[in-house]
Amino acid sequence: MGPMMRCLLLSFLLLLSGLVQAGEVLRVLAWPGYADADLVRQFEARHRVRVDVITVDSDDELWRRMRANEGRDIDVFAVNTAELQRYINEGIALALDPARIPRIQFQQPAFRDAAAIPGLTRGGRVYGVPYAHASMGLIYNRKLVSTPPDSINALWDPRYRGQVLAFDGSSHNFSLAAMALGKPPFKLAAGDWRPVLEKLIGLRRNVLTFYAQPEEAVELFRSNAVALVFANYGSQQVRALEDAGADIAYVIPREGALAWLDCWVINSASLRRKLAEAWIDFSLEAPMSRALTERHGLANTLDPDKGEPGGGLIWLQPVEDVERRTRLWEKIRAGDRLERF
Amino acid sequence: MQIGIAPRLALVLAVFAVLASGLTGYYAYDTSRRLLVERAEKNLLTATQVLGQRLVVALGNAAKDARLLASQAGRESGGEEVLARAALALLQVHPEYFQVRLIDGRQHGLERLRLDRDGQRITRVQGLELQEKAHQLYVSQTLRLTPGQVYLSRIFINRETGAHAGFERPTLIVATPVPLADGVSHSGRLAVINIDLETLFRDMRMELPGDLKVYLTNEWGDFLIHPDPTQTFGFDQGRRVLLQDHFPDARPIVAGEMDSVVVSSGEGAQGGLVAAFHRVQPPDFASQRFFIMGLAEPLDYVLREARLLADNMWRIVLSFSFLALLLAWLVSRAVTRPLEQILLAVRRFAAGDSGGSAPLPVQRRDEVGLLARGMEDMQSQIRSQVEALEESRQAMAHLAHHDALTGLPNRVTFFDRLEHAMAQARRQGRKLAVLFLDLDHFKEVNDQYGHQVGDQLLQAVARRIQTGVRESDTAARLSGDEFVVLLNPVHNGEEARLVAEKLLQRFRELLELEELALPVQVSIGISLFPDHGVSAQALVDAADGAMYRSKNAGRDTCSMAEPASPPAA
């Protein structure tokens, strides 16, 4: 067989494989860093399909896309446990059979036990497979803090007055204050509000300021003496500070750290469930899961968290009254004294 | 299709004129458009710099006011009423200040004195409504300064509830520590002025034309003021809306490489803008904070004069083109009309209509006149040649039908006329007669006196015959000394005989020649139509026969032809 013939045969085979691949398309809706192109190509090659990855960068955008065109545009998507509730309510999330996704057994025990993760199950049925997560622990400045803080209450430590960076967010701050007081973070009881308010005013009096963006925190860290930072953006923020040359460390306090957990969910309208299950299984293989950590600073579900002994992670859940928390937080931030509440 | 000179000439002239006026118009428009954009850019840059200077001055004043308030607070410890009056005065003078405060950093930043603008009024906030502000950066950052230094905040959206004005509005805070008596250290208190950026800019842009768009960004290029309010404070909603993304040409100013840039965005998302951006760094503050101020004008608006010009240009070009067409037509007409005149003259001349020929434009003093005069010369030459030709033609024709010697009709003519006359006579039932004359003894005369005299004699005979018959009769020379006369009409033979007798009578007189007089006599034969023949030749032959009988009868007499065979029908 001459080189010419070989060449022709090769092109023919390539064309044929292209046709086969073009036959089936898996549409994945994910967050930046969840499905890098090189890994997606591996999946495509293995299953002889094409994968369309669409990325979103906010919960609202995700919700809008899943609702558009009756949700038929997407087969599988990634959503956090607190948000998952409304997808289950709307019947968008499909109940899964964990046996069909064999690599679940290689996840860390905390993620294997779906029932122990609030919001992941309903009526005994599992609706998502944990894939990526990030915790909101404490960052401390090794130059100013000699012993690593082991409690959330370090944020209130008068030694660090004017040296604490807290986050300008109503929901998380109320949860944080509740945790500091040893109360359930997401469901404040009627009698809890007053002590939590007092606690938050105490926090306000102890902080340098409340930041909103991770870059802003870096900037403040650089131009002020900052001892402690509430890491709302988790390990990503740790990396940003380290990149800026800060001498810092990250801890999970003994009360635990708030954390968000993104799970793969299959769209109930999808006609490609098998392929979607294969995708989820593939994402739990080491190359793809570890890319989350190595490339993007997010935590995966295969490896134990590094340097996060503490009290473990407290997965975000819907809070009892978003509006009330927001309203009160605005007054706190404005500087109202306790007598005004 | 053939195109005449006139339309061709007109077309060339018109195309040239239209092109010339069109190109002139286009270049004038293009140049003026460029000049307008350049002028707009220059004006915008100047206006931007002036506006920036106004911002610097306004902020400088605020810094001065803050210092004044701080130094007053330092001097009059406890005299809060005096301070309140000073703060009130500041708020009254500066509509852009919406809050003037004195804050105590030692009590979690509790406000000690606070005056809020509240619509038209100014409210003093007291008691529990006073808030703690230690967690605000402007407190901690100001307390790091030494007295006299002034803190300038970023421009941010004010979210501090409890203020009466300025909530949710772009705000700038100017603050300075209250000095102790030594003037070097501070008391942990600070004087704070909140400036409402919208009011500040509303006042500043009062002086600008209404169609100018104002932009303001912070040092990173985030829009703080933008004609489209949704583009402002993007970072406040988790997205960045940056100057350098909207106007890539403005990147150097954000990077700090340039102080001013002028940008002409094409037909982009903004629909075409001319914009100027200028870096504004208020000098009165401790921080190196700067803003980027920009003014933009829609390209449409900049170019409306150019459009006006373009409209006028069109009108001018069109009217010039029309004029050019008219002129081209007139010019071509002026050139071709005399040519047409010449052509007409030539045509008529050619048609032989020489009498009423068209006049040639010979009076012109140009080449056309020259041509016309040449044509005229040629015409007259042709005309005279034609006349000469006609004369010779007529002479030839005469020669063909007449006897060269005597001038009488020749044989051919005679027979022609005879046949005509016979045809007529036949129709009308009339008679005619032919007289055949032969000179007696002509040969002897010829022999005796020579041919010349013979010829003179023949000429004289011809004259005598001619004058001896009526106008309507035809005398002709057949040959030698034979003559015939057609008498038309005659009523009978007797009448013909009388004519013959009369002729004989005339010939009995001497013929006067040039040098001599000779006696000449003739013999005459007479034939009658239709009595003696119904063809010309028969008639002539009959007359000839009768003539011979006259000769035989002794000459100088006339004889009637013998009655012929019965006439043919």
- Side-chain-side CA neighbours of B474 within 13 Å: the count stands at 23
> B493 with B526: CB under 8 angstroms?
yes
The answer on pLDDT for B191 being more than 60 is yes
Q: What pLDDT score was predicted for residue B353?
A: 64
Same domain, B417 and B529: yes
| Tokens at B309, concatenated | 């010009």
Inter-chain CB proximity B135 and A337 less than 8 Å: no
Other Cβ atoms within 10 Å of A46 Cβ, number: 10
Contacts B125 to A, Cβ<8 Å: none
Q: Which residues contact A26 (CB under 8 A, 6 or more apart)?
A: A49, A50, A51, A52, A75, A76, A272, A275, A276, A279
Q: What pLDDT score was predicted for residue A19?
A: 45
State the nearest Cα–Cα gap between A200 and chain B, in angstroms: 12
State the nearest Cα–Cα gap between B188 and chain A, in angstroms: 14
CATH code at position B493: 3.30.70.270
For A340, which of B128, B135, B235 is closest by C-beta distance? B128
Contacts B160 to A, Cβ<8 Å: 333-335
Beta bridge partners of B99: B116, B194
pLDDT in tens, B336-370: 788 888 888 888 887 776 555 677 788 888 888 88
Same domain, B375 and B458: no
| 3-state SS class at B502 | helix
For A335, which of B137, B140, B160 is closest by C-beta distance? B160
* Cα dihedral: A84, A87, A89, A94 (round 10): -100
Number of domains forming the structure of chain B? 3
Q: Say yes or no: A90 contacts chain B, CB-CB below 8 A.
A: no
Q: What pLDDT score was predicted for residue A200?
A: 97
Q: Say yes or no: B377 contacts chain A, CB-CB below 8 A.
A: no
Beta strands in B139-185 (DSSP E): 151-152, 156-157, 170-179
* Encoded amino acid at A133, one letter: H
Same domain, B406 and B387: no
Residues in chain A: 341
Distances (CA, A) of B444 to A302, B111, B118, B544, B555: 171, 178, 166, 21, 15
Inter-chain CB proximity B162 and A336 less than 8 Å: yes
d(CA A279, CA A103): 11
Same domain, B277 and B374: no
Q: Which residue has the higher pLDDT, B158 or A311?
A: B158
Q: Say yes or no: A198 contacts chain B, CB-CB below 8 A.
A: no
Inter-chain CB proximity B136 and A209 less than 8 Å: yes
Distances (CA, A) of B461 to A293, B464, B470, B520: 157, 5, 16, 9
Q: What pLDDT score was predicted for residue B213?
A: 87
pLDDT band at A1 (very low <50, low <70, confident <90, very high): very low
Inter-chain CB proximity A162 and B160 less than 8 Å: no
Which residues in chain B (141-170) have CB-CB distances under 8 A to chain A?
159-163
Q: Say yes or no: A318 contacts chain B, CB-CB below 8 A.
A: no
Q: What pLDDT score was predicted for residue B387?
A: 92
The answer on pLDDT for B290 being more than 70 is yes
Q: Say yes or no: B556 contacts chain A, CB-CB below 8 A.
A: no
B77 within some domain: no
Q: What pLDDT score was predicted for residue A7?
A: 53
Inter-chain CB proximity A208 and B140 less than 8 Å: yes
Same domain, B246 and B384: no
> What residue in A sits closest to B140 (Cα-Cα)?
A208
Q: Say yes or no: B563 contacts chain A, CB-CB below 8 A.
A: no
| Mean pLDDT of the residues in chain B | 86
> Which residues of B carry out catalysis?
481
> What residue in A sits closest to B287 (Cα-Cα)?
A223
Inter-chain CB proximity A209 and B162 less than 8 Å: no
> What residue in A sits closest to B133 (Cα-Cα)?
A335
Inter-chain CB proximity B235 and A213 less than 8 Å: yes
- Give the Cα-Cα-Cα angle B2, B7, B13 (nearest 5 degrees): 135
Segment B194-216 shows an average pLDDT of 84
> What residue in B sits closest to A220 (Cα-Cα)?
B137
Other Cβ atoms within 10 Å of B301 Cβ, number: 15
* Encoded amino acid at B270, one letter: Q
Q: Say yes or no: A207 contacts chain B, CB-CB below 8 A.
A: yes
Q: Which residue has the higher pLDDT, B203 or A44?
A: A44
Same domain, B370 and B441: no
d(CA A301, CA A161): 37
Q: Say yes or no: B416 contacts chain A, CB-CB below 8 A.
A: no
pLDDT in tens, A287-298: 999 998 888 778
Burial state string for B194-204 with b = 16 or more CB within 10 A and e = fewer than 16? bbbbebbbeeb
Same domain, B280 and B366: no
Q: Which helix (H) or strand (E) holds B380?
A: helix B367-401
The answer on pLDDT for A264 being more than 50 is yes
What domain range is B382 assigned to? Answer: 360-391
pLDDT band at B333 (very low <50, low <70, confident <90, very high): confident
Nearest Cα residue to B475 out of B530, B422, B437, B432: B437
Q: Say yes or no: B136 contacts chain A, CB-CB below 8 A.
A: yes
Q: Which residue has the higher pLDDT, B371 or A97?
A: A97
Segment A67-95 shows an average pLDDT of 89
Q: What share of chain B is helix, strand, coil (3-state, %, to 5)?
A: 50, 20, 25
| Mean pLDDT of the residues in chain A | 88
Please write down the HEC assignment for all residues of B240-266: CCEHHHHCHHHHHHHCCCCCEEEEEEC
Contacts B235 to A, Cβ<8 Å: 213
Helices B411-428 and B367-401 cross at an angle (nearest 10°) of 80
Contacts B128 to A, Cβ<8 Å: 337, 339-340
Same domain, B384 and B478: no
* Encoded amino acid at A229, one letter: V
> B439 with B372: CB under 8 angstroms?
no
Which residues in chain B (450-479) have CB-CB distances under 8 A to chain A?
none
Q: Which residue has the higher pLDDT, B360 or B392?
A: B392
Inter-chain CB proximity A337 and B132 less than 8 Å: yes
| 3-state SS class at B165 | coil
Inter-chain CB proximity B160 and A333 less than 8 Å: yes
For B131, which of A207, A208, A336 is closest by C-beta distance? A336
Inter-chain CB proximity B133 and A335 less than 8 Å: yes
Say which residue the tokens 């020489």 belong to.
Answer: B354
Q: Say yes or no: A327 contacts chain B, CB-CB below 8 A.
A: no
Domain spanning A3-132+259-303, CATH class: alpha beta
Same domain, B413 and B540: yes
DSSP assigned state of B129: G
> What residue in B sits closest to A165 (Cα-Cα)?
B135
B222 within some domain: yes
* Encoded amino acid at B445, one letter: V
Same domain, B418 and B534: yes
d(CA A38, CA A32): 14
B225 within some domain: yes
The answer on pLDDT for B169 being more than 90 is no
Q: Which CATH superfamily is domain A138-251+316-340 in?
A: Periplasmic binding protein-like II (3.40.190.10)
B567 within some domain: no
Share of chain B above pLDDT 90, in %: 33
The answer on pLDDT for A14 being more than 80 is no
Inter-chain CB proximity B128 and A207 less than 8 Å: no
Nearest Cα residue to B177 out of B61, B286, B289: B286
Segment B441-462 shows an average pLDDT of 87
Segment A243-256 shows an average pLDDT of 92
Q: Say yes or no: B140 contacts chain A, CB-CB below 8 A.
A: yes
Q: Say yes or no: B49 contacts chain A, CB-CB below 8 A.
A: no
For B132, which of A209, A220, A335 is closest by C-beta distance? A335
pLDDT band at B60 (very low <50, low <70, confident <90, very high): very high
B243 within some domain: yes
Q: How many CB pairs under 8 A join A and B?
A: 56
The answer on pLDDT for B172 being more than 80 is yes
Q: Say yes or no: A218 contacts chain B, CB-CB below 8 A.
A: no
> A228 with A138: CB under 8 angstroms?
yes
The answer on pLDDT for B238 being more than 80 is no
B239-243 contacts, C-beta under 8 A, 24 or more apart = B242/B217, B243/B215, B243/B217, B243/B277, B243/B292, B243/B294
For B128, which of A208, A334, A339 is closest by C-beta distance? A339
Inter-chain CB proximity A162 and B238 less than 8 Å: no
Same domain, B408 and B380: no
Inter-chain CB proximity B135 and A58 less than 8 Å: no
Least confident of A129-138, A141-150, A216-225, B230-239: B230-239
pLDDT in tens, A20-35: 445 789 999 998 889 9
- CATH 3.40.190.10 spans which residues of chain A? 3-132+259-303, 138-251+316-340
pLDDT in tens, B103-142: 999 999 999 999 999 888 999 999 999 999 999 999 999 9
Q: Which helix (H) or strand (E) holds B529?
A: strand B521-529
Task: Tell me whether residue A58 is exposed, middle or buried, using C-beta atoms within 10 angstroms of its C-beta: 0 to 12, 13 to 18, 19 or more.
Answer: exposed
> At residue B173, what are phi and psi to the nearest 5 degrees?
-115, 135
CATH code at position B245: 3.30.450.20
| Tokens at A237, concatenated | 């923020």
Same domain, B381 and B446: no
Other Cβ atoms within 10 Å of B374 Cβ, number: 13
Inter-chain CB proximity A205 and B132 less than 8 Å: yes
Least confident of A133-137, B7-11, B407-411, B518-522: B7-11
Q: What pLDDT score was predicted for residue B1?
A: 45
